[in-house]
A and B are shown apart, each in its own frame.
Chain A
Amino acid sequence: MTAPAVAVQRISAPIPWRRYAIGVLYLALAIFVFIVCGLHTLPRTDTTITFNGNNYGALPGLMVPTGVFNTLLAVVLAFIGGAQLANLGRAAWLLGLALFIFVVAFMVWAARGNTLDVVNVAESSLLSSVPIAIGALSGVVCERAGVINIAIEGQMLTAAFISTLMGGLTGNVLVALASGILAGALLGWLLALLSLKYAVDQIIAGFVIDVFATGFTSYLQVSVLEVHPEVNASGQIPNVGLGGLSNVPVAGPLVFGNNAYVYAMVVLVFSIHIALYYTRWGLRARSVGEHPIAAATVGINPIRIRYFNVILGGALAGLAGTFFTLGATGRFDSTMTSGQGFIALVAVILGGWNPIGAFLAALLFGFAVSLQTILGIFNVNIDPNILSMIPYLVTILAVAGIVGRTRPPAADGQPYVQE
């Protein structure tokens, strides 16, 4: 027998390697920005920054010497790196700030000797983020009540298909919109039925719906829409043009002359945020998501709340799906959602299960999606595939702990069995 080992108490705090690693990463980013985006263009190149959108020449542009501007940004990035190393300020804010500065530096560099229109960039990013943001709201509504909705992709795809079919058959955009939302809600109900009544694992139930939707829409696209191409025309919801207001500089095109879906997105984000945190329904839903048994003891019916939220989530995903047809192309294509339902799910997690957080995460992805088209205008010799990877890499870094461990609702994904 050996003598029992004496437990050695760790007296000093563990070295925060992660914090250091991320701080060094920011410093490396600063050096990169300085050398590539700054020094590289130093002799004499200017970037013109304008704020006009479609109102060409409404405001004079801002001439910025590219090299000097980016050198300044590199200094700011270095400061952020220092703040991270010294543990000043919250890591999540620093990450957001660092990312933002890097993106600005990159854009200014990409548009060197050219014109960068901020309003255009903002407008196309907003538009690209619509399906992701509304899809993420669906995820928030479901997961706050404790049901993981991995079926967002399938709900969006089905809604896009049904809205096209109904729009093509009736020629009425509103019928198309309503039927798309209804299709999403129906699949939400199916998810609720499978996971709540028939006790299928939530992730698998959602996966089943995704697979079903892929097969169903692809099959009908080939066997119906390709045979009757005249039906493959959903119509489009017209842009909201608030008269002369859209000619107001900067804010005009952004606020008063946009796609109807952009307004719907903003309204939904804030109304769901308020509903979730300041209403009776929201409190009940969140309590069911955290601890359904406790909620049941105070007289809340967790199953009913979950049914309601999952069906509502399905309807939201359906609305997001109709964006692809009614808000964008006006016709159905079997791969048109291209995994954006899954990106929405990631936006939910990055946004900390909060509608506004999810919206901000969706904006990041929306920006990344629109970046390819934006950079297509400039003469950038970087392969677009490399740029497309960035949001996914950022997501991996984020879930790997830069933003601190995010905490899902406690009962998220847990089945609740009624006694």
Chain B
Amino acid sequence: MSESPEQLQAEVAAGNPPQTVTEYRREQSFPVRLLRDLAVPVLALFTGLLVGAIIIGLSAPDFWDHLRHGEVLQAFGTGASLAGNAYYWLFKSAFGSRQAWSETGVQTVPLLFVGLSAAFSFRGGFFNIGAQGQFLFGAMTAVLMANHFAGMPGIIHIPIVLVLGFIGGAVWGSIAGILKARTGANEVITTLMLNYVAIYLVNWLLITPIFQRPGFPNPITSEAVPSALLPALPGYRIHLGVLIVLACAIIIWWILFRTTIGFQLQTVGANAAAATYAGISVAWTYILIMVIAGGLAGMAGTTQLLTTQTSVIPDFAGSYGFDAITVAILGRLHPIGVIFAAFLLGSLRSGAIGMQSATSLPYYIIIVIQAVIIAFMTSPHLIRQIFRVRQAAATGSESFSKGWAA
């Protein structure tokens, strides 16, 4: 966030010379830095769990029964024990056993892919909310190609399908990039509209002879052939996708921070006018952003297809479009941060699935927890006010969007 000249002057007058984030970081020793950097996410997680617990407690029928009879303490006791039980199962199902860790990994992979996609485009100042459509088109291309090349050995088959899935998502994603580059069309609207177009287009494609599973009346594709499926650890569901997505995270980190393209992209994101002045082609940068971001979302759909859901159905993309934004914000748009964010959300998911089957409390409570976490992560002031933490300069909220005019 940039400060106005007046604010800067006031800071200097008060004896606080302005510090850049890097300067600030160098002053601190590593443990202090780590503590400072972790304080906000940990407090955000804590608050999210607290709000979740309150909602769980309030939705308990016994809570209201006790309250009606004037038994306030018992009421809060039941609420707290219900919430405690829910979180016990949440934690146990996410980390309680090897099988639980495997499930957490399985949930993390697609979240990490879409999170990287969103973070990459946000870094370039491109508010892409179209991961859902790109996810769908990655999967559609992958299912078509997996079955087209049926009979190949897996070692060739899998890479081909992954690359084509990437291309499927990239083609769909690049539409918004080209529109923005050529006509200045606002990407928030085009990507949102393209999501709807993608949903209806896929719903239609699923009942055309090219995609529909032969002999089935409902919209569903054939299953991806076994030779294209990603190998899993014997006895577990955890699969090769974990390594692929981690490699992608490292590649994205490398592109962003170690290449000219990454530098150009971040310059465009920080100030498109300045980037133009510096001779960077903003139009090409937007297209490139959407090719890579779309491709990553397409890979998310592809790995999902080649592992847990082996055929495409209308609701295939689930809520991954919105989860992409959550993961990216939570990871502070940094590929390494996004890994942790996706892992956190992945463990919440696998935990919630276990919690729902053990306690029959609805899975959706984790969505509330997620919302609270993002609110706190993006507002340093909020944390400061509630927890009276001295705010580190490094935890200023990044400016993600610039309104419609951007």
Contacts and interface: CB of A to CB of B under 8 A. Distances in A.
Interface of A: 18, 148, 194, 197-205, 207-212, 214-216, 218-220, 222-224, 227, 339, 342, 346, 349, 383, 385-386, 388-389, 392-393, 395-396, 399-401, 405, 408, 410, 412-414, 417, 419
B59 interface: yes
B197 interface: yes
A346 B189 contact: yes
Given A211-B326, A386-B200, A218 B403 contact: no
Nearest to A393: B197
Contact of A148 (B194, B400, B403): B403
Interface of B: 4, 6-7, 55, 59, 61, 127, 179, 182-186, 188-190, 192-194, 196-197, 200-201, 203-204, 207, 322, 325-326, 329, 361-362, 364-372, 374-375, 378-379, 381-382, 385, 397, 399-405
B264 to A, nearest CB: 24
Given A349-B404, A396-B190, A412-B403, 7 more contacts: A198-B379, A214-B364, A216-B368, A219-B362, A386-B200, A396-B179, A399-B186
Contacts, number: 157
A250 to B, nearest CB: 34
A399 B185 contact: yes
Contacts of B6: 419
Nearest to A212: B371
Contacts of A207: 322, 325, 374
Q: Which secondary structure dominates chain B's binding surface?
A: helix
Nearest to B372: A212
A215 B367 contact: yes
Contact of A401 (B185, B365, B375, B385): B185
A408 B404 contact: yes
A209 B368 CA distance: 10
A219 B378 CA distance: 24
B364 A215 contact: yes
B371 A400 contact: no
Contacts of A209: 371
Nearest to A389: B200
18 contacts: A198-B385, A199-B381, A199-B397, A201-B378, A201-B399, A207-B322, A211-B367, A215-B366, A215-B367, A216-B368, A227-B61, A385-B204, A389-B200, A389-B201, A393-B197, A396-B179, A396-B193, A400-B185
Contact of A203 (B200, B365, B397, B401): B401
A211 B322 CA distance: 8
Contacts of A148: 403-404
Which residue among B322, B368, B374, B397 has the maximum number of chain A CB atoms within 10 Å of its CB? B368
